[in-house]
Amino acid sequence: RYSTFMLWRGNRQVAGAEHAYAHAMLVAGDNALVAIRMASHTVNAGRVYFAAGSFEPTDFRDGLVDVDFNMIREVREETGLDLAGATRGRRYYALSTATGTVIFRRYRETASADEVAQRISAFVAAEAEPEIDGPVIIRNADDLPDGLMPHMKPLIEWHFAGKD
């Protein structure tokens, strides 16, 4: 299944079909964003984005995708964080690019970015084969890390412009 998806994603020979995925935009108590850098053994090795993954069969309820479930599941799998206690943004947003459409929503933590990053780092250190190298803190729109996925820049700019 995954290999078929990767082949389709690389070729995109079906007109009108698009890759859609979800991002939980993790906002720390100090308003910094906490993203992740993918581990070297993954398809997106070294790339930086919010913890995420493609929709899986477990993300669907009665034929509809449960976007929140996907976001919470992916964040937990990759970072160990449980977003159940985080304050969810009021709505979803979407950004469509040549490589797909990202559906995103803010999840606000009360802890500082440094504290959130420490929790993620501890989780990664305890994993036998972690999906990520670790957390990446983004403190402002000019604070763009190396390896940033192209779709992330407009999301970061949107956040720090105070949009809602």
pLDDT, tens digit (0-9, with 9 covering 90-100), for 87-136? 999 999 999 988 889 999 999 999 999 999 999 999 999 999 999 999 99
Q: Return the pLDDT at 11.
A: 54
- pLDDT(21) > 90: yes
Per-residue pLDDT band at 13 (split at 50, 70, 90): low
CA dihedral 84, 85, 86, 91 (to 10 degrees): 50
Contact between residue 101 and residue 92 where contact means Cβ atoms under 8 Å apart? no
48-49/87-88 β-pairing: unpaired
* Structural domains of the chain in order of their starting residue, each with its CATH number: 19-160 (3.90.79.10)
User: Going along the chain, which residue ranges are E strands?
Assistant: 20-27, 33-38, 48-49, 60-61, 64-65, 87-88, 93-97, 100-108, 132-138
pLDDT value for 17: 56
Residues 59-93: tens digit of each pLDDT: 999 999 999 999 999 999 999 999 988 999 999 99
- Position 31 pLDDT exceeds 90: yes
What is the structure's pLDDT at 23?
96
The predicted structure's pLDDT at residue 118: 99
Q: What is the pLDDT of residue 141?
A: 98
Output the pLDDT for position 19.
81
Could you give the percent of the chain with pLDDT greater than 90? 81
Tell me which residue of 90, 82, 94, 84 sits closest to 106, measured CA to CA.
90
Residues in CB range of 92: below 8 A, 6 or more apart: 67, 103, 104, 105
With H, G, I as helix, E, B as strand and everything else as coil, classify residue 112: coil
